[in-house]
A and B are shown apart, each in its own frame.
Chain A
Amino acid sequence: MTLEALRLAAADNLWGAIMPELMLGCIALLLLGLEIVLPRRLHGVIPDVAAAGLLGTLLGLALNWSSVAVGRETFNGLLFHGTSGQLMRVFFVLSALFVCLLARVTLPRHTAPRVEFHHILLVVTAAMMLLAQSNHFVMLFVALEAATIGLYLLVGYFRGSTASLEAGLKFVVMGALSSGLLLFGIVLLYGVAGNPALPGHTTQALHFAELSRFLAANPDNFVASLGVVLVLAGVAFKIGAFPFQIWVPDVYQGAPTPVTAFLAVASKGAGFAVLMALCGQGGAFAAYGWLTTPVLTAIAAATLLFGNIAALTQHNVKRLIGLSGVSHAGFLLLGVIASAQTPMAAGAVYFYLFAYLAASFAVFGVMAHVAGQDDSEQELDHYHGLAKENPLLGAVLAIGLGSLAGIPPLAGFMGKLFILVSAFQAGARALLAVAALGVVISIYYYFGWIKAAFFETWTPPSGEGAGPARPERSPVTPVAAFVLGALALASIAIGFYPGPLGELLTLR
C-alpha cells in the first residue's frame, strides 16, 4: 500500500465527529489521575467531576446537535453519524448521569472504591455511544465488547458480597457465550459476502451498506441466513429477549442497584440501537426480512409473555423490575419488527426508550433509597408505609411505575401507543393481541408494588421466628429530590405533550 493510499484512507478520519466519546475517555483517565494527585480527604469530589464531565458532554452534544458530521460516514465507513445516533448518544449520557446519582446513594453504604466505578462507567458509556453509531461489524464487535466487559466489572463490583460476585460470574459466562454466537455469525457473513464465486460479492464484506447490497443480490443463501440468525441471537442475549433471558433475574438481583439500572436502561438501549441498524428500514439485514421478521416475531411474542408471567410471582423488587424489563424488550421488539415496513416505528422505538429511561430511573432512584446494607435483598415488604413516611419517594415511585405500566396520560402510555399504532400499520395483528395481553398482566404486578408502598402499613416483626428488620432507608438529599422530582415531572410532561420529542423522533 502506498503512502497516497494511506493518506486517502485517513482522509475521512473526522476526529471532531467523535468528540463526545473522546471527551468521556479523557475524563475517565482524568478521574484516575485525580485519585493519584489529590490528597485522600478530597477524593469525595472525584465522582462529582465525573458527573460534571457527563453534564458537559451532554451540553456539547446539544450545542452541536446538527454538526457537520451528521449524515456522514467517517473513519472509512466504520461509523455513521445519523439523527438516531445523536439521540442514542444523548440517551447513554443521560443514563450515565442518573447512574452517577444512584451511585451517590448506594456506594457510600458499601466499602467499594468509588473512583474506579465512575471510571468504568464513563468508558462503558463512550463504548455504547460508538456502538450506536457503528456502521461496520469490526466497530460493532469491538464497541460491544468494550461495553460488555466494562459491565462485567460493574456487575461484580461489590467484592465483599457473594451475590454480586455470583451475578458477575453468571453475566460473564452468558455474555461471553452471546459474544461467541455474535462473532461466529459475523464470521459467516464475512466469509460468504466476500466469496468471489457468488454474485454481488464485495471486498468490504463487514461494512453494513456493502453487506446489505450483497444480501439483496443473494436473497436465499443458507450460510448468510445462518450468520444473520447467529448475529440476532447474540444481540437477543444483550437485550434479554426470550429464550436468552435466563441471566436477567439473577444478574439484576446480584448487581449493585446503580448497575442494575444501567443494565436495564443503557445496555438494553444499546442492544436496540444495534437491532435498528441491522433490521430496521435500510438496515444491513433489510433484504433478509423474510427471515428476520418471523424470527423476531416469535422472540417478541415469547418475550412479552414470559417476562410478564414470570414477574407476577416475584417478591424481590430487583428481580421484578428485571423481568418486567424483559417484557419491555418484547414491546420494543414489536417496534423493531414494524420498523421494517413503517417509517414511523423507528421514531416510536426511540420515543419508547426515552419514556422508559425517565420512568426506570425514577423507580431505581426510589429503590436505591429504600435498599439497605444488603443490596441484593430488596423485598416488596420493605416498601410498606413508604408513601406515608416519605411522600416524595412514594409519589415518584407511583408515577414511575405507572409510566412503566402504561397508564394514560404518562409517557409510558404514549410510548406503548406509538408502538402499537405502528405495529398496526405494519399489519402485525397477532403480535398486537399478545402485547395487549402483556400490558394487562403487567398492570397487576406494578400495582402490587404501588399497593405495598401506599396501602400497606409497616409493622415491625415481633416474637420468635420473626423476619429480619426492615433495612434503614437513606435520607433524600436535595439534589436527589430535585432529580427524582424532575424525572417524575418529565414522565408526566412527555405524556401530555409529546409534541417536540415526537417530532424530533420522526426525523431520520
Chain B
Amino acid sequence: MISASLNAYVAVSVLLFAIGLLGVLIRRNTLVVFMCLELMLVAATLALVAFSRHNGTMDGNVLVFFILTVAAAEVAVGLALIVALFRRRRTVQLDGLNTLRN
C-alpha cells in the first residue's frame, strides 16, 4: 500500500487553507465567499485527521465531528441570511451591501 507522508497531507491542507483565505478576501460573490469559508474548515479537518493518524491520538478525529457540525450550523445560518437579503436587494454581491456606511 502506498501511503503519503504527513508532510504531504499538511502541505495540501495548508494550500487549501490559503486558497480559502484568499478567496474570502478577494471574491465579491457571497456564495463563493461561503464556499471559501467552508474550504478553510475542510483544510483544518484534513490536517487534523493526518495529525491524528501520525500522533496516534484520537482527539483530532473527535474534533472533526464537532467541526462538521459547526460548519453545517454556520452554513445554515449564513444561507438563510443570504436568501433573506436576496429577497430584499436582488443581489448576492458583497459590493451591494452598502446600507451601512458613515
Contacts and interface: CB of A to CB of B under 8 A. Distances in A.
A184 B46 CA distance: 10
Given A169-B85, A191-B51, A194-B51, A141 B43 contact: no
B24 A187 contact: no
Q: In the complex, which of the residues B34, B56, B77 has the most CB atoms of chain A within 10 Å of its own CB atom?
A: B77
B85 A196 contact: no
A204 interface: yes
B99 interface: yes
A176 B99 contact: no
Contacts of A376: 99-100
B57 A205 contact: yes
Nearest to A196: B55
A188 B63 CA distance: 13
Interface in A292-319: 313-314, 316, 319
Given A190-B51, A319-B102, A180 B41 contact: yes
A163 B97 CA distance: 9
A166 B97 contact: yes
Nearest to B56: A196
Interface residues of B, number: 42
A176 B102 CA distance: 25
Given A138-B66, A149-B70, A159 B84 contact: yes
A138 B61 CA distance: 11
Nearest to A183: B44
B73 A172 contact: no
Nearest to A226: B14
Interface string A151-166: 0110010010011011
A195 B54 contact: yes
B81 A254 contact: no
Given A142-B66, A184-B43, A253-B100, A177 B24 contact: yes
B99 A163 contact: yes
Contacts of B100: 163, 166-167, 170, 249-250, 253-254, 376
Question: Dominant SS at the B interface?
Answer: helix
A113 B2 CA distance: 57
Contacts of A159: 84
A145 B60 contact: no
A390 interface: no
A493 interface: no
A196 B74 CA distance: 34
Q: In the complex, which of the residues A152, A165, A254, A313 has the most CB atoms of chain B within 10 Å of its own CB atom?
A: A165
Contact of B99 (A204, A254, A314): A254
Given A172-B74, A180-B21, A191-B55, A162 B30 contact: no
Contacts of B37: 173, 176-177, 180
Nearest to B33: A173
B62 interface: yes
A162 B57 CA distance: 47
Given A187-B48, A376-B100, A169 B74 contact: no
A373 interface: no
Given A138-B59, A149-B74, A205-B59, A180 B84 contact: no
B82 to A, nearest CB: 6
Given A149-B74, A179-B70, A138 B63 contact: yes
A10 to B, nearest CB: 16
Contacts of B70: 141-142, 145, 149, 179
A203 interface: yes
A325 interface: no
Q: In the complex, which of the residues A156, A173, A203 has the most CB atoms of chain B within 10 Å of its own CB atom?
A: A173
18 contacts: A141-B67, A142-B66, A142-B70, A145-B74, A169-B78, A169-B81, A169-B85, A173-B78, A177-B37, A179-B70, A180-B21, A180-B41, A183-B67, A184-B47, A191-B55, A194-B57, A203-B57, A205-B55
Given A142-B66, A145-B73, 7 more contacts: A149-B70, A179-B41, A184-B47, A186-B44, A191-B54, A205-B57, A254-B100
CB-CB nearest 3 A-B residue pairs: A194-B55, A191-B51, A180-B40
Interface of A: 137-138, 141-142, 145, 149, 152-153, 156, 159, 162-163, 165-170, 172-173, 176-177, 179-181, 183-184, 186-188, 190-191, 194-196, 201, 203-206, 249-250, 253-254, 313-314, 316, 319, 376
Interface of B: 10, 17, 20-21, 24, 30, 33-34, 37, 40-41, 43-44, 47-48, 50-51, 54-57, 59-60, 62-63, 66-67, 70, 73-74, 77-78, 81-82, 84-85, 88-89, 97, 99-100, 102
